[in-house]
Amino acid sequence: MGNMKPILGIIGGGQLGSMLCHAAKKLDIYTIILTDDPDAPAQNFCNDFICTNYSNKSEVEKFAHSCNFITFEFENIPFEILQEISNIKQVRPDPKINKIVQNRFSEKNFINSLGISTTEFAFIKTKNDIEKNKELLPGILKTCLLGYDGKGQSVINTMEDIKKELPLSGDFILEKFVNLKQEISVIITRFQNGECSIYEPIENIHKEQILRSSTIPANISKELFNQAHNIAKIISEKLQYIGTMCVEYFIDYNNKLYVNEIAPRVHNSGHLTINAFNVSQFENHIRAVCNLDNIPLQKKSNAQMINIIGADIANYRKKKLKNEEFFFDYMKKEIKSKRKMGHITTLISKQ
Ligand code: ADP
Ligand code: MG
């Protein structure tokens, strides 16, 4: 590796890793992906690809030593591994943040400790715990760890439902079901000098707990806009966050805002920033992690992003794109139903 470019290590090799690599190229930064998935799509976009079990100490240490900067693209890397890597080379954002937000119970307690609302919830280990918290029904039972795209979640409408087999092994939370008017997210990048760069709220539509579309501008009041921005700033400041993160929100029919969850990484709802802004969430993440300048954000256009899920990808691979359409194929080896295979962003004139 006889080049003089800064070397950025990225742990995780999914589509978010691919898009980070793409942004790094623009900044003339060399990328190394570390993953345990031999089919990881980011291998098509990075400069160097290390595929190893995360428990392989010597490989992981070698990776840490060869990078100038290290970050991650998914939050479910075991905390101990991140900690081990950060003993060799600083990992940004700090793995301690990961420890708080990768567990839904500690994440919600942290948010509430800042005086910010979440849905009502309770810690659950057994069916008896559900019985004790039946005022939370109808609700959603969620694993504390490792859930994504609705995986590890079950809807519980009444106490009748818990007579059925429930996947109760490990730690869970039961969350009260919110009658959702809207869902929005805020993407924010915090730099090493404490400055923040914040994108306007994005309106999201989920189906079967998977994100289907993200749109700017969000159809919300100025008041909710400001509230969502302020909460994201408070959270990133409190966490002393470095890099891009996302705060997902629920809005109910009383226009009350709740934080749903924090993603300590670039986020699916922010993909439209690639085409709609001068600096994307990915470029901003790299700028913050590698301590480059914070460039003021300029919005170029309104936009809508649609996730392409499962076999539908075949239609888009054949599609003739219009000038305002930008198609991203994640180049995943296997097509699976309910799996995000790509996305398409359409720019919509601001008029
Ligand atoms: P994941 O980690 O899989 O993204 P989330 O907790 O964000 O899990 O849930 C995914 C989606 O499921 C949410 O964006 C929302 O549409 C729906 N959902 C989750 N929890 C609730 C809830 N308490 N009330 C209503 N809808 C919910
Ligand atoms: Mg979510």
- Residue 137 sits at φ, ψ, to 5 deg, of -85, 150
Whether 295 is covered by a domain: the verdict is yes
In a domain, 41, yes or no: yes
- Residue 4 reports pLDDT greater than 90: no
Atom of ligand 1 nearest to the CA of 176: 23
CA of residue 150 to ligand 1 center, whole Å: 7
Q: Identify the pLDDT of residue 81.
A: 93
Percent of the chain at pLDDT exceeding 70: 97
CATH number of domain containing 337: 3.30.470.20
Query: Can you give the pLDDT at residue 351?
Result: 62
145 pLDDT higher than 80: yes
pLDDT band per the 50, 70, 90 thresholds, residue 163: confident
Instruction: State whether the beta carbon of 105 lies less than 6 angstroms from ligand 1.
Output: no
Q: Are residues 216 and 329 in the same domain?
A: yes
| CATH code of the domain in which 50 resides | 3.40.50.20
User: Which of 250, 253, 256 has most ligand 1 atoms within 8 Å of its beta carbon, as the pocket-test mutant?
Assistant: 250
Omega before 217 within 30 of 0, i.e. cis: yes
Q: Is 114 inside any structural domain?
A: no
The string of pLDDT tens digits covering residues 68-79 is 999 999 878 888
Q: Which of 152, 176, 200 is the last residue of a domain?
A: 176
One DSSP character per residue, 38-92 reads TT-GGGGT-SEEEE--TT-HHHHHHHHHH-SEEEES-TTS-HHHHHHHHHHS-BS
Confidence of residue 136 (pLDDT cuts 50, 70, 90): very high
CATH number at residue 154: 3.30.1490.20
Mean pLDDT, range 313-319, rounded to an integer: 96
pLDDT of residue 162: 78
Same domain, 159 and 206: no
Question: What separation in Å is there between the alpha carbon of 307 and the centre of ligand 1?
Answer: 17
Give the three-state DSSP class for 232.
Answer: helix
Ligand whose nearest atom lies closest to the CA of 104? 1
Which pLDDT value is given to residue 1? Answer: 52
Domain range enclosing 83: 7-91
Q: Is the Cα torsion angle 165, 169, 175, 178 positive or negative in sign?
A: negative
Please give the helix or strand (H or E) that residue 34 lies within, else none: strand 30-35
Q: Is the CB of 117 under 6 A from ligand 1?
A: no
Same domain, 172 and 277: no
Asked if residue 312 and residue 208 are part of one domain, the reply reads yes
Q: Is 150 a pocket residue for ligand 1 (Cβ < 6 Å)?
A: yes
Instruction: With respect to residue 263, please indicate whether it lies within any of the assigned structural domains.
Output: yes
Q: Do 31 and 157 lie in a common domain? A: no
What whole-number distance in Å separates Cα of residue 285 and Cα of residue 32?
Answer: 16
Quick check: 65 pLDDT over 80? yes
Asked which of 176, 201, 220 is the last residue of a domain, the reply is: 176
Share of the chain above pLDDT 90, in %: 87
Give the confidence band of 56 by pLDDT, cuts at 50, 70, 90: very high
Question: How many angstroms is it from 227 CA to the middle of ligand 2?
Answer: 19
Domain boundary among 176, 196, 211: 176
Atom of ligand 1 nearest to the CA of 140: 23
Q: How far is C-alpha 169 from the geometric centre of its chain's CA atoms?
A: 25
Q: Average pLDDT in the 2-16 region?
A: 90
The pLDDT value recorded for residue 3 is 57
pLDDT at 310: 96
What is the mean predicted confidence (pLDDT) over 128-146?
93
Atom of ligand 1 nearest to the CA of 151: 3
DSSP class per residue in 272-286: THHHHBSS-HHHHHH
200 and 331 housed in the same domain: yes
Q: Indicate whether 202 and 268 sit together in one domain.
A: yes
Instruction: Report yes or no on 147 lying in a domain.
Output: yes
Residues 219-273: tens digit of each pLDDT: 999 999 999 999 999 999 999 999 999 999 999 999 999 999 999 999 999 999 9
Among 285, 221, 278, 251, residue whose Cα is nearest residue 73:
285
pLDDT at site 97: 95
pLDDT of residue 209: 87
**Judgement on whether residues 71 and 137 belong to the same structural domain of the protein:** no
Q: Residues 154, 268: one domain?
A: no
- 104 within domain boundaries: no
Do 337 and 199 belong together in one domain? yes
Q: Give the list of residues 6+ apart from residue 136 with CB closer than 8 angstroms, or none.
A: 120, 121, 122, 174, 175, 176
How high is the pLDDT of residue 63?
97
In a domain, 325, yes or no: yes
In this prediction, residue 164 has a pLDDT band, given cuts at 50, 70 and 90, of confident
pLDDT at residue 95 tops 60:
yes
Mean residue pLDDT of the chain comes to 94
Ligand 1 atom with the shortest distance to the CA of 177: 24
pLDDT of residue 86 exceeding 70:
yes
Is the same domain home to 11 and 160? no
Is residue 111 domain-resident?
Answer: no
Judge if 187 and 314 occupy the same domain: yes
Q: With a 6 A CB cut-off, is 209 part of the ligand 1 pocket?
A: yes
Q: How many domains does the chain have?
A: 3
State whether the beta carbon of 261 lies less than 6 angstroms from ligand 1: yes
In terms of Cα–Cα distance, which of 77, 86, 89 is closest to 13? 77
